[in-house]
Structure 1
Amino acid sequence: MTETRRALITGITGQDGGHLTELLHSKGYEIFGLIRGQRNARREALVREYPYVRIIEADLTDQTSLINAVLTSQPHEVYNLGAISHVGYSFRNPQLTSDITAKGVLNLLEAIRITGQQETARFYQASTSEMFGGLDYNRPGTGYSEDSLFHPRSPYGVAKLYAHWIARNYRESYGMFVSTGILFNHEGERRGLEFVTRKITNAVAGIHLGLQKEIVLGDLWPKRDWGYAGDYVRGMWQMLQHSEPDDFVLATGETHSIEEFLTLAFAEIGIDDWRPYVRQDPEFMRPAEVDILLGDPSKAERVLGWKREVDFPGLVRLMVEHDIALRSGELTPSTAER
């Protein structure tokens, strides 16, 4: 009889955590979700949305709680998705970003090592394209790959770079099965409302329904490699099923500006010119902006057989349709939105 696979997920209440939970449940996993504190505002929604998840209270800044979480779950796979994940917020709270996004990864890896689970547990670290920094001298024509130089331009990017390197260090020093996914921007219906793509589609839905008149944004010219979160979470799982641990870029290989996103989103509600509905505010402009992020996913496609299924127009359409249904009362918000 085959043993049921057990997975421990940090950041389970976020966008990727929700997609991953559904994917692993469909594959028959026993899922343990790590959340912070008994008064966590998202706990009730998590229980309602995923009643099959076994909740463990722990904190990435508290190693004792992480040791207990590992001992309780005895995981075959650990997905570290927990982080302060908003770039703008990281400028306002750089120390908290460092404590959770950077040092939290070290704490979790140490918990696995101390408990002796490194022999059986495969570890996924959620790295990010923000580690590259978007500098032209660092980006070949085909986009950033696993071998490109890093030059992060935010406290979030710096913290993620530490996490990326400490994860690789534990793979090389202790022989742990540690794979990192350098994921470019991935969006979807579960994206938090503080992120620009979801802010746009939520507002477009509100304008369509007569609930608001405008969107207030920062810079509109940055270009991003935008894909669908559900596709990228499938890639995370594929990394831990591969025979060898490694680093993989997940991306679409194409970029689009925020203006392009606006154009497609407003077109979904029959508006050709979005400019009368958008106001720019310096409050939403970052001290150091990344101009362009373009990824090269060829290694993941070749080695893992990973391939995205949702294209850019399909992503925008999916998000706008979801938010119209949500704001009209036809849907209940997901855990990640609460």
Structure 2
Amino acid sequence: MQAKRALICGISGQDGAYLAKFLVEKGYVVIGTSRDAAASSFANLQKLGIRHAVETVSMSTSDSGSVLSTIRNAAPDEIYYLAGQSSVGLSFEQPVETMESIAMVLVRLLEAIRFLDCPIRFYNAGTSECFGDTGNQRANETTPFRPRSPYAVAKASAHQLIGTYREAYGLYACTGILFNHESPLRLERFVTQKIVRGAAQIARGGSEKLQLGNLDIYRDWGWAPEYVEAMWLMLQQDRADDFVIATGETVSLRHFLDRAFRYFDLDWNEHVISTPGLQRPSDIRIGSADPSKAKAVLGWSAKTHVDGVVDKMCEAVSS
């Protein structure tokens, strides 16, 4: 039986690297894109020990011709779009780039699939940021979007585009509405990695205070290697659909802080300060999820909840 082929746009990032590893272990031929594949280090693939098992190609997402030829040459059964600007905070500084890299690139990919008229299954990386502040409501697939950042606006637009192409053109296209998911591959600009690395540095004798923004936020934090399985499962269904992917457990950032610092036998209150300059122009206070549809339809549920996530990340920076 011929091996399935998957094209991963954004293979250099956290999710792209873990997805590549998951698919390689499933026996897939995995092709990953980069703006300049010859110059890219693909460091995360190296860390996971799969660089040799993945083919990498150059693709300019701003060039429709490059997108079309890449898809034609790769001849994938499945495409995963995990690329684009991924930082909420940075999106306030780079709103145009954020909209371009998320929504406009998605249109080029969908148009290429439509033009080629091949039975390609397409996964789009969505985000819980689209819901805005959920308050006491646990967001599910029918919860209205109330985006509060350029990043969330771009992702909400992409989500609507997926639905439009699915209904109007019959494409097998779906969006995973993923709540926060972390791992040792997270960049340090993300608060979870900043906390874990900051705690580890202080435990080694560092004297500087860890400066963070708003501490009064609540999130659903999961383990990224588990979430890529949910992405894959979405493309194995008979019918394309969208799914909320989360643990279903929401805790405060202070809980995350406490767990990380206690791992290193530290009291975070003695080492952390909240700096107004690091706060976003508008922030989401509470993000709460109802992932019951994913469990019922995909058979997927999170195995690692927030305390396990924190411990695994702390263990990684300790080794």
Task: Return the TM-score normalized by structure 2.
Answer: 0.96
In the alignment, which of 323, 331, 337 is matched to residue 317 of structure 2? 323
1:145 counterpart residue number: 140
2:220 counterpart residue number: 225
- Unaligned stretches of 5+ in structure 1? 326-338
Does the 8 Å contact 1:47/1:53 carry over to 2?
no
Kindly provide the amino acid, as one letter, of the partner of residue 100 in structure 1.
S
In the alignment, which of 279, 283, 295 is matched to residue 289 of structure 2? 295
2:96 counterpart residue number: 95
1:131 counterpart residue number: 130
Measure, in 1, the Cα distance between the counterparts of 2:171 and 2:298.
20
The residue correspondences of 1:1-338 to structure 2 (distance < 5 A) are 2-38=1-37, 40-43=39-42, 46=45, 49=49, 50-117=51-118, 120-136=119-135, 140=137, 143-211=138-206, 213-271=208-266, 273-325=267-319
- Of 20-29 and 46-55, more deviation after overlay is shown by 46-55
Cα displacement string for residues 250-300 of structure 1 (whole angstroms, at most 9, x for unaligned residues): 0111111111100000110112x2112112222210000101000100000
Would you say how many aligned residue pairs link Structure 1 and Structure 2? Answer: 317
Measure, in 2, the Cα distance between the counterparts of 1:80 and 1:210.
41
Measure, in 2, the Cα distance between the counterparts of 1:47 and 1:253.
32
1:335 counterpart residue number: none
Corresponding residue SS for 1:79: strand
Measure, in 2, the Cα distance between the counterparts of 1:47 and 1:147.
39
Change (3 A) 1:17 1:212: farther
Q: Quote the offset at 1:9 in angstroms.
A: 0.3
Does the 8 Å contact 2:17/2:44 carry over to 1?
no
Q: Quote the offset at 1:193 in angstroms.
A: 1.1
Change (3 A) 1:25 1:39: closer
Change (3 A) 1:236 1:64: same
Corresponding residue SS for 1:241: coil
Measure, in 2, the Cα distance between the counterparts of 1:41 and 1:216.
31
Measure, in 2, the Cα distance between the counterparts of 1:38 and 1:12.
11
Q: Quote the offset at 1:214 in angstroms.
A: 2.5
Q: Quote the offset at 1:38 in angstroms.
A: 4.8
Cα displacement string for residues 56-89 of structure 1 (whole angstroms, at most 9, x for unaligned residues): 1112222111111101110000000011010000
Measure, in 2, the Cα distance between the counterparts of 1:256 and 1:42.
36
- Of 206-215 and 217-226, more deviation after overlay is shown by 206-215
- Of 49-58 and 124-133, more deviation after overlay is shown by 49-58
Q: Quote the offset at 1:39 in angstroms.
A: 6.6
C-alpha RMSD of matched pairs (Å): 1.5
Q: Quote the offset at 1:212 in angstroms.
A: 5.2
Corresponding residue SS for 1:216: strand
Change (3 A) 1:133 1:17: same
Measure, in 2, the Cα distance between the counterparts of 1:181 and 1:38.
27
Measure, in 2, the Cα distance between the counterparts of 1:310 and 1:44.
25
Does the 8 Å contact 2:72/2:116 carry over to 1?
yes
Cα displacement string for residues 98-135 of structure 1 (whole angstroms, at most 9, x for unaligned residues): 11011111111111111222xx2100011110001114
Does the 8 Å contact 1:202/1:324 carry over to 2?
no
Does the 8 Å contact 1:206/1:324 carry over to 2?
no
Kindly provide the amino acid, as one letter, of the partner of residue 70 in structure 1.
I
Kindly provide the amino acid, as one letter, of the partner of residue 34 in structure 2.
I
Task: Return the TM-score normalized by structure 1.
Answer: 0.90
Corresponding residue SS for 1:51: helix
Measure, in 2, the Cα distance between the counterparts of 1:199 and 1:243.
41
Kindly provide the amino acid, as one letter, of the partner of residue 134 in structure 1.
D
Does the 8 Å contact 1:4/1:29 carry over to 2?
yes
Does the 8 Å contact 1:203/1:212 carry over to 2?
no
Change (3 A) 1:67 1:103: same
Corresponding residue SS for 2:124: strand
Measure, in 2, the Cα distance between the counterparts of 1:31 and 1:212.
44
Q: Quote the offset at 1:46 in angstroms.
A: 4.3
